[in-house]
Amino acid sequence: MSLGSYCFRKSLWVFHFGGASCNNCDIEILDCLTSRYDVERFGIQLIGTIRHADVLLVSGSINRKCRDRLLEVYNQAPKPLLVVAFGACGCTGGIFAEGNTFAGPVDKIIPVDAYIPGCPPKPEAILAGIVKLINK
Binding residue for other proteins, selected from 8, 22, 113, 134, defined by CB under 8 A:
8
Question: Considering beta carbons, is residue 43 or 111 the nearer one to other proteins?
Answer: 43
Residue 79 in the binding site for other proteins (CB under 8 A): yes
Amino acid at 20: A
CA atoms of 17 and 107, how far apart (whole Å): 14
Residue 49 in the binding site for other proteins (CB under 8 A): yes
Residue 69 in the binding site for other proteins (CB under 8 A): no
Closest CA to 43 of 79, 81, 3, 7: 7
Question: Considering beta carbons, is residue 4 or 100 the nearer one to other proteins?
Answer: 4
Amino acid at 46: L
Residue 113 burial class via C-beta count within 10 angstroms: exposed 0-12, middle 13-18, buried 19 and up: middle
Residue 40 in the binding site for other proteins (CB under 8 A): yes
Residue 101 in the binding site for other proteins (CB under 8 A): no
Closest CA to 13 of 76, 66, 73, 78: 78
For other proteins, the binding residues (CB under 8 A) are 2-8, 10-11, 34-35, 38, 40-41, 43, 47-49, 51-52, 54, 76, 78-80
